[in-house]
Amino acid sequence: MVSGESLRLQKYLSMCGVCSRRKAEEAIARGDVTVDGEVAKAGQSVTVGRSAVSFCGEDVVPPRKKSPIVLALNKPSGYVCTHGDPHHRSSENIYALLPMYRQMKLICCGRLDKESEGLVIVTDSGAIAAKLMHPSKMVEKFYAVTLDKPLAPKHRKQLEGGIVDGGELLKIHAMKVLSGCRRLIIVLHCGKNRHIRRMMESVGYEVKKLIRYRIGNFSLGDIQPGKHRKLNEILIEQLCCGTVGCEL
C-alpha cells in the first residue's frame, strides 16, 4: 500500500486489517462506512493517505510500514555465522551475541569464518540482504589482513590475476600492500567461503589475522568486539551504497 495509490474501498479496508473484502462489501451496503464524511457507495475508490475513511464510526488508518532491522556486529574470533552448526563444534554462533533478537528470523549478509573478525551485517530484510550480497550490486567489502611472512612481488601479481582453487575462480577487486609487506588491505565484491585465506594458502602464505572493517560506505568505527549497533535509515543507505572504483 503506497501513499497516493487508488484502491477499491473494500480492498483498502481489507489491507488495513479491518475485515475481509466480503465483509467490507456488506458493511458498505449497510452504510457503516464513510469516506471524507460521506456514506460510502458500492464500488467506490479511495486514495491512500488522502481519503478519510471510517468504519462503524472508527477511523481507519493504513498500517505503518515496518522499518527493517539492520544490525552492525563486530564479530570476535571463535564465533561462527550460522544459526545451527552442522559439524557440532563447540563454537558459539554470532546470534548468541544478539540475545534480544533471538526470536527473529535474521539473515547474515556475508559470513566471516570462525577465525576471522570484524563487521558482520545481520538483518530481517531480504531486500537489504540481496543488495549487500548479490555481485551485481557491486558493494565492496574491505579487509585488513596480516600474513605470516612478507608478500613477494610475484605472488602479488598472481593474486591480482585471480586464483583457481577447488574449481572456483577467486578474485580480488583491489589490494594494497602496506609497509613490511605482511599487512594488506584487500577489497572484495563478492566473497566465497574462506575466500582470502584460500587465495593466500594457494601461493604459500598463512593468514594470521583477518578483520573486515568496512562494507560499502559504512565502517566498523568504535563498535567493540562482541557488540552491535542498530542502524538508522541514513546508515543503511551508506551500507548499501556500492563504492565502485575505490582508492586504497
Catalytic residue positions? 113
Residue with cell 565492496: 140
For 158, what's the count of Cα atoms within 13 Å in the CB-facing half-sphere? Answer: 15
Residues 6+ apart with CB under 8 A from 23: none
Here the cell at position 212 is 573486515
Q: How far apart are CA 244 and CA 248, in angstroms?
A: 12
Secondary structure E strands in 44-103 = 45-47, 53-55, 58-59, 70-75, 79-80, 92-93
Residues across the chain = 248
H runs (alpha helix) in 18-136: 21-30, 126-133
Helix (H, G, I), strand (E, B) or coil at 234: helix
Q: How far apart are CA 203 and CA 158, in angstroms?
A: 8
